[in-house]
Chains A and B, each alone.
Chain A
């Protein structure tokens, strides 16, 4: 349930200008690391094209690939479950957990489980869920949602982390040293791994031809959990499928470089069969994805590999923070995914953009993000989710601007009023005027000049 729309939330965020600058610079730095990394790969644009084409092909044959994937995964000893929505997903996980009398669970990063609000659901049912990705653990302790899909705690400074760890992990008060704090987290979470009965991971890529899947982390938390616990559950959206193992070469070359500028994450773990004695489950989730698949203008958003390069490059995201998008997935990709889930709630998101197009350029799978933002705006206004005042204004504008005589008259009048009655524009009611001066209103338009000077 959203509390504020993006514009209001962004305004509140920007009030602390130094912190906004810090947030913006931090994310821009990640963009520059990405640039440095990709400019070292001469074939980078070709890689993007291959990845885009593979994803296009996969989405166009998705039902066959899902069937192939399930068949192979099952043959390898993995139990495959299907969930149409968040509720079914959560129920399945609860059932598996109950079946093993699980009271303690560790979870590595999975945006899907965030989307399904799994943690609060399991906690309600008496199961302790510990997020083991350091960023996620930090926001979990703070009872906050993550603000970035790859760097969940990017909005927090080390003082914030220090305070949280002091409260929950009993670290020294005021000790902000990242090394010290990370070590404390290592010890604390190591115990959780060792004690856990069930490990839940996400899936970065699911390979149809083998029935296996790949999980990428820098911290090793997915592996620490999965190989220690008696039960491993992996959750994936239907769009995570890729056809062949060899395609991983392309996606693994693109993913980390796009996300953080690293050539690859520390661990790219390929799960194929459960270890002897272990139970492995896979939950394949729809939750609105088939609906998006059916939208010709927006299906390309399902190609997303969750790298967040679009977040890091977006000048609006950097200056408004992930929480202002009031959704699990923020940033430009969130703005084209979320309206599909609930158009009314997310009507503001496609407008939280200047359509600069930088996002589309950094997307490793060439999603036409900025074009989709434009198209969502048309859908949203057609469905009536744009403010009546705005719609009336637009209608008025269209009326005037399509009639040459009326356009010229309005322009002349407007300029005259601006010159003779400037106070009408120079006040709080005019959002432009809040922090900007109005442009000068000349006495003559270009057309006036042309008629006087050029027209024979």
Chain B
């Protein structure tokens, strides 16, 4: 299985360890992983700000880079959702292939690789932040608003990790407040939303907050650090990859 690794721009630049962990897990699970060297950004920051018309360059570059793979996998629910919903290019066939073969990590591990156990150990108390785009957009888990059977791909994977004590906040799927450029253009609301998430995780006395989107974690981490908190953020890929043989 040939997997193209799509590393979101801010992970490439600021949280490379998340991409390293993602690559390592996929390889350990038997995938041939390729990292197209000229990838840049999925175009979401512009598109969500009303400038989808400016994303063509990013779209074209994406399509050019992700050829000759069976799947594309990324550690970002929001970037994957954006590609699925908004990737368009002159090369319609390739764009269509990408849209239907791109996966966020936990959905890839659950639905395609059908992982049943993981040799990982993370003996810590961890709070799960279920990022909105992954949840409501990609359906990586059920949603409290809907009357439907309960399930969660991230939780399922985390339950395979030895020693991990998983907690959920009281409002299990409330948004963290990052929201792309919202985080600076509606700074007051954004931070208030982030602080409230942290308050709920603190009530569970977590050591770590994890999730499937580094953007959410970056925003929460910024607040935690400003608060002088000992709580750390960590991407689910890093947990699943921890102490793998």
Contacts and interface: CB of A to CB of B under 8 A. Distances in A.
Interface of A: 6-7, 10-11, 14, 17, 20-21, 24, 28, 35, 38-39, 41-42, 44-45, 313, 315-316, 319-320, 351-358, 360-362, 374, 377-378, 380-382, 386, 390-391, 394-395, 397-399, 401-404, 407, 411, 414-415, 431-432, 434-442, 444-451, 454-455
B158 to A, nearest CB: 22
Contact of A44 (B7, B12, B147): B147
Contact of A45 (B132, B147, B188): B147
Contact of B38 (A380, A398, A404, A415): A404
Interface in B106-149: 132-133, 136-137, 143-148
Given A352-B186, A434-B191, A436-B219, A35 B145 contact: yes
A353 B147 CA distance: 24
A439 B46 contact: no
B16 A442 contact: yes
A14 B192 contact: yes
4 pairs of A and B residues whose beta carbons are closest in the complex: A402-B57, A354-B179, A436-B222, A381-B50
A445 B145 contact: no
Given A358-B175, A402-B58, A35 B132 contact: no
A382 B19 CA distance: 35
Contacts of A446: 7, 11-12, 16, 19-20
Nearest to A314: B175
State the majority secondary structure of interface residues on A. Answer: helix
B146 A45 contact: yes
A441 B178 contact: no
B143 A361 contact: yes
A455 B191 CA distance: 40
Contact of A361 (B51, B146, B196, B225): B146
B234 to A, nearest CB: 14
A411 B222 CA distance: 20
A333 to B, nearest CB: 15
Contacts of B47: 374
Contact of B46 (A361, A382, A397): A397
A319 B51 CA distance: 27
A402 B14 contact: no
B43 A401 contact: yes
Contact of B16 (A320, A435, A436, A449): A449
Contact of A401 (B14, B58, B177): B58
Contact of A436 (B43, B51, B145, B226): B226
Contacts of A455: 37
A439 B15 contact: yes
Contacts of A351: 49-50, 182, 185-186
Contacts of A439: 14-15, 218, 221-222
B69 to A, nearest CB: 16
Given A402-B58, A437-B226, A397 B16 contact: no
B188 A401 contact: no
A427 B49 CA distance: 24
Contacts of A447: 7, 12, 35, 37
A198 B184 CA distance: 50
A454 B40 contact: no
A401 B51 CA distance: 13
22 contacts: A11-B188, A11-B189, A20-B192, A316-B189, A351-B49, A354-B132, A354-B193, A355-B133, A357-B133, A357-B136, A360-B136, A361-B136, A398-B43, A398-B55, A401-B9, A401-B45, A402-B41, A404-B38, A411-B9, A432-B184, A436-B223, A445-B16
B202 interface: no
A435 B16 CA distance: 24
Contact of A437 (B7, B194, B222): B222
A36 to B, nearest CB: 11
Nearest to A407: B40
Nearest to B176: A354
B164 interface: no
Contacts of A450: 23, 35, 37
Contacts of B194: 436
Contacts of B187: 7, 11, 431-432, 434-435
A431 B184 contact: yes
Give the residue among A21, A315, A351, A390 with the most B Cβ atoms within 10 A.
A315
B61 interface: yes
Contacts of A437: 221-222, 225-226
Contacts of B190: 354
Contact of A313 (B133, B145, B192): B145
A445 B13 contact: yes
A30 B81 CA distance: 30
B193 to A, nearest CB: 5
A117 B178 CA distance: 36
Contact of B183 (A41, A44, A382, A432): A432
A355 B182 CA distance: 10
Interface in B161-186: 171, 173-175, 177-186
B13 A354 contact: no
B31 interface: no
